[in-house]
A and B are shown apart, each in its own frame.
Chain A
Amino acid sequence: GDSVTQMEGPVTLSEEAFLTINCTYTATGYPSLFWYVQYPGEGLQLLLKATKADDKGSNKGFEATYRKETTSFHLEKGSVQVSDSAVYFCALGGGGADGLTFGKGTHLIIQP
């Protein structure tokens, strides 16, 4: 069945550091890939998406490229801020299973 694997953390970085959160997936068909972010006490917000191979999603300085050959969708940001502290979820939809399939989430902590 469909599955998503991501580093769980916590990942602790200093402000202005480079961020990479790895995400790999297993799916049948041709899924769409998503990154969602959850701030403390809030629901999930869509951060970015990509619908086909080689698509790059980007938003608020975050980027991720849909790599079919490596079945990956790694999240990157060039310079993180304290306000980026949150839990980040990689997810896929349309791979064969119903609904979205989520990774376990990566807790990101940015220190000033």
Chain B
Amino acid sequence: DSGVTQTPKHLITATGQRVTLRCSPRSGDLSVYWYQQSLDQGLQFLIQYYNGEERAKGNILERFSAQQFPDLHSELNLSSLELGDSALYFCASSVEGDRLAKNIQYFGAGTRLSVL
């Protein structure tokens, strides 16, 4: 158990809809990272928050957004969903806010999103 909690485990929705994925980092970790794992693109970095503020952005679509709350949990919002958004979404956390990610990241079990 990594200590990173993601909910829900599975999400099934329709095209055009909006969903919210939730992540609670390990106790004491200030950074949260979001990644997307798909069959064609592999694992891709989406966005990082550190202590409530956006720290780094990767290949995140404009339809996607994230935020980190004062209790350090984070939410990833996906809107106007398309079939191609079906993927496994991982959250990871680390103690430091290093945007270049030299430090160890601990991953949650992921949320599997199916867009029908």
Contacts and interface: CB of A to CB of B under 8 A. Distances in A.
Nearest to B91: A43
Interface residues of B, number: 29
A98 B58 contact: yes
Interface in A63-78: none
Interface of A: 29, 31-32, 34, 36, 41-46, 49, 51, 89, 93-105
B2 A93 contact: no
Main secondary structure of the interface of A (DSSP, over half): loop
Contacts of A101: 45
A99 B33 contact: yes
Contacts of A94: 98, 100-102
Given A98-B56, A98-B58, A99-B45, A45 B107 contact: yes
Contacts, number: 75
Contacts of B90: 43-44
A96 B100 CA distance: 7
Interface string B34-70: 0100000011111010000000111000000000000
B109 A93 contact: no
B25 interface: no
Contact of A49 (B6, B48, B92, B104): B104
A98 B99 contact: yes
Contact of B42 (A44, A49, A104): A104
Contact of A100 (B101, B108, B109): B101
Contact of B102 (A43, A45, A51, A89): A51
B43 A98 contact: no
A43 B109 CA distance: 4
B51 to A, nearest CB: 17
B100 A46 contact: no
A99 B35 contact: yes
